[in-house]
Structure 1
Amino acid sequence: MSNFTNRWERKETPGISTRVKESVRPPGPLKPRLEAAVRSIQLQMQKLDIANQRFQERDRIMFSKVVDAYSKHDLDHAKIYANELAEIRKMSKMLMQARMALEQIVMRLSTVTELGDIVVTLAPAMGVIKNVRAGISTLLPEAERELGDIGTLLSGILVDAGQSSGLSLNFESANEDAQKILGEAAAVAEQRVKEKFPDLPAGIAAGEKAGF
């Protein structure tokens, strides 16, 4: 049995020294640890979906207020509601972008079969999770903490995979890959915002540009 297979699937009975190491880095073969990370990320995706559904409902209510105020020629309130609506859509877009980025990470991690793939895949994945975590910290503090735990788990896997394979990490390439994933997620989120949310009345948009 190859060294990779051992590190990928091997199960061991932990001794005292192993339990000490566990306090520093998650132990065990790589495959179940990677699968656990994927499940944890998928759980965060579900939480982001639920949170975004709440924002979409708030958007629907606020949009109705904008239209109602505008139809009554109450432009002052229409502008107030429109500004609140813009903030809601900004947060919803942020959640969509985070969700899309995590989905890309899950797809990549789910296709890992080689030890070298782990090193190449996990490095940008950790960068993406770090960015997502920072982006949603104020919106979903609990998710921010849980993503921190996922980052720690992935870091431990990356260290073990690097030691087992002898491969060195190209940080510049990993960062570029992470930014590419985030950029693609942002583009998709932007498109989905346009598809999901109706445009404001033309008069409101014109008024905002004129600074009324």
Structure 2
Amino acid sequence: MFRYKPSWSERIKEAIRPTPMKRRLNHAIHRISVQMRRMDSQTNRLQSREKNLYTKCVGAIQAKDNMKASMYADECAEIRKMVLNTLKSQMALERVNLKLTRVRDFGELAYNMTSVGAIMKQIKDGIQNIMPEISMELANVNETLQSISLEIGEVTEQTIDYDTPTEESEKIMKEATLVAEQKMQERFPDMPKIPSPEPDSSIQD
């Protein structure tokens, strides 16, 4: 007699149907969204600080104080690096949340959970020195997601390469970088050119 055997997708949906596991997945999605909003606030603060330094740099150039202008330009460059890193992390987190939403709503575990851990680790490490509290929170979320991945994998008898870097994870990070660089061009003007020091006219040949 034929016995119906549920597909992987059906078993995944059953595993995350309103249960503690699905609630944990919803909570993880929410926590990531909260950190993305915190990153956005941090980016706005950094951008405001950079704008102030940029204005001072232009003023120093106009005053022909190249030493100060160089100092302000260096500070602007450092802030822009931090903003770029933050924007890249935000773009990558958006992709992670999209993957998790598909797992929750459609049970697409095998494809969408693969390499999530690798992406989360790159994001966490990338902002560790800029936003340590957010980095720590993302590390905690990552542990939760790894646990969920293992539990659903047991139910569906699938092995999920949760934290293994893949071509897809590398592609996601590259795309996040490209989008972040485009946003940087939209947000920040080109740095003003600082004139080279004029030769000392008192020095004679």
Structure 1 residues 41-60: Cα deviation after superposition (integer angstroms, max 9, x where no partner): 00010010011011000111
For residues 48-197 of structure 1, the aligned pairs below 5 Å read 48-112=39-103, 113-115=105-107, 117-170=108-161, 174-197=165-188
Check conservation: 1:136, 1:144, Cα contact below 8 A: yes
Cα drift, residue 70 of structure 1 = 0.6
Q: CA deviation at 1:6?
A: 3.8
> Counterpart in 1 of 2:201?
none
What is the root-mean-square deviation in Å for CA atoms of aligned residues? 2.2
Give the Cα separation in 2 of the matches to 1:43 and 1:131. Answer: 18
Q: Shift of the alpha carbon at 1:177?
A: 1.5
SS class of match (1:142): helix
Q: Deviation at 1:173?
A: 7.6
**1:3 Cα deviation after fit:** 4.5
Q: Distance in 1 between matches of 2:144 and 2:30?
A: 12
* Deviation sequence 1:71-123 (CA, Å, 0-9, x none): 111111111110111001000111111111101111222122444x2232123
List runs of 5+ in structure 1 lacking aligned partners: 12-27, 208-212
Separation in 1, partners of 2:163, 2:85:
25
> Could you tell me which residue of structure 2 aligns to residue 14 of structure 1?
none
Change (3 A) 1:130 1:160: same
- The residue type paired with residue 33 of structure 1 is R
Give me the whole-angstrom Cα distance separating, in 2, the residues matched to 1:147 and 1:79.
36
CA distance in 2, matches of 1:34, 1:66: 47
Give the TM-score, by structure 1 length.
Answer: 0.81
3-state SS of paired residue (2:26): helix
Shift of 1:5: 4.4
Residue type at the aligned position of 1:105: V
| Offset, 1:172 | 9.7
For residues 116-147 of structure 1, what are the alpha-carbon distances to aligned partners after superposition, in whole Å with 9 as ceiling and x for unaligned?
x2232123221111111001111111111101
- Aligned pairs, number: 188
The 3-state SS of whatever aligns with 1:137 is coil
Once residues 40 and 15 of structure 2 are traced to their aligned partners in structure 1, the CA distance between those partners, rounded to angstroms, is: 35
Higher alpha-carbon deviation: 81-90 or 120-129: 120-129
Structure number, greater radius of gyration: 2
Whichever residue aligns with residue 36 of structure 1, its letter is H
Give the fraction of aligned pairs with identical amino acids, expressed as a percent: 30
Question: Which residue of 183, 190, 196 corresponds with 1:199?
Answer: 190
Match of 1:7 in 2: 15
Please state whether the residue corresponding to 1:101 is helix, strand or coil: helix
What is the TM-score with the length of structure 2 in the denominator?
Answer: 0.83
